Amino acid sequence: QVHLVESGGGLVQAGGSLRLSCAASGRTFIIHAMAWFRQAPGKEREFVAAINWSGGSTNYADSVKGRFTISRDNAKNTVYLQMNSLKPEDTAIYYCAASLTARPYIWGYKRGDFDFWGQGTQVTVSS
């Protein structure tokens, strides 16, 4: 099993920045990729960014490209999401997820590939 705990959410003004963290524990050696998803009120959970756990290749949703950066620290078993130039439409609960599935390319991962999820952290961007 893998346990994920997110932190770093909060309230920020439009144009500001936040950095989310996701600490993984348990059988982390079986993780192949990690990702961030988000869910706004009344909307479905959507993909934000993903990172390959070993090689570090990344993939982003078009809506966050150029503003968000996903990274990982394998020594700390932690994944980060640096969010810059935040917009009110980025307001959502952000979830960290871990996949035990090995895919050849990071852009090949789908939501159904992710086996473990954190409890989520709220990000609110005021206009």
Q: Tell me the C-alpha distance between 85 and 83, whole Å.
A: 7
Q: State the pLDDT at residue 123.
A: 98
Please state, for a pLDDT cut of 70, what percent of the chain lies above it.
100
| Residue predicted with more confidence, 54 or 34 | 34
Q: State the pLDDT at residue 55.
A: 76
- For the chain, count helices (H), then strands (E): 0, 11
The tokens 């871990």 sit on which residue? 98
Q: Tell me the C-alpha distance between 29 and 35, whole Å.
A: 16
Q: Give bridge partners of residue 26 from the DSSP assignment.
A: 2
Q: State the pLDDT at residue 56.
A: 82
Task: Return the SS3 of 71.
Answer: strand
